[in-house]
Amino acid sequence: MSDITETQNNWLSEDDLATARSRLPIVYVDAVPVRVDDLGTISHVGLLLRATADGSINREIVSGRVLYGERVRDALVRHLEKDLGPIALPRVPPSPQPFTVVEYFPNADISGFHDPRQHAVSLAYIVPVEGDCIPSHEALDLVWLRPDEVVTPTVAAEMSPGHGKVVRHALAHAGRPF
């Protein structure tokens, strides 16, 4: 990883992060990893399998905070490499534009996007991935599902709050509404 994405000096302590989360919206990036065919049509969506703090297992998209002083593009690359491995070869455009902006709230009734820890504003991206993915960090597994599979009620029930909606929005944005 380049010096630009070095973040060791930008982490908040647990206490500082808890204070910030209780008082400020926190900026995140959400990335929907996809495989595309020769015409650029989404053929598969990648979902991570993670254990949560409460002991449950959820399917998730790539997601994480943008650190102070970090470019959004660098945060996106950092989280993709962290979750999908160093040889995933994500194709992030030189000037990434989110396909949508999502607000997660501690109160699940406000927007349908829920994060019990905080109010988070997330820039959501569709990111084609060309390499071999080896889930790393806290991810237990990665599964590639066809678009029609990823929107089934069974898969939606396994997803973290709001992530299923983000995937549906991504597919609709890419011309694959379900």
Q: Which CATH number goes with the domain that contains 73?
A: 3.90.79.10
* Residue 46 included in any domain: yes
**Closest alpha carbon to 100 in 176, 166, 25, 35:** 166
**Is 157 buried (19+), middle (13-18) or exposed (0-12) by CB count in 10 A?**
exposed
Mean pLDDT, the chain, integer:
88
Mean pLDDT of 95-100: 93
Residue 97 covered by a domain: yes
Answer whether residue 2 shows pLDDT above 60. Answer: no
For residue 4, being part of any structural domain is answered with no
141/9: higher pLDDT? 141
Exposure class string for 23-39: b at 16+ Cβ within 10 A, else e: eeebbbbbbbbbebeee
How many domains does the chain divide into? Answer: 1
Look up residue 1 and give its two tokens: 């990883």
Which candidate, 159, 126, 125, places its Cα nearest to that of 35? 126
For residue 83, is it within any domain? Answer: yes
| Residue 3 lies inside a defined structural domain of this protein | no
Dihedral (C-alpha) 73, 75, 81, 83: value to the nearest 10 degrees?
A: -130
129 in a structural domain: yes
Residue among 47, 54, 55, 62 nearest 154 (CA): 47
Quick check: is 178 in a domain? no
- Which pLDDT score is estimated for 4? 45
Per the domain annotation, does 5 fall within a domain? no
- What residue numbers bound the domain in which 22 lies? 10-173
Is residue 114's pLDDT more than 90?
A: no
- Predicted TM-score (pTM) above 0.75: yes
Q: What percent of the chain has pLDDT over 90?
A: 62
Predicted pLDDT at 6: 46
pLDDT tens track for 38-95: 999 999 999 999 887 788 889 999 999 999 899 999 999 999 999 999 999 999 988 8
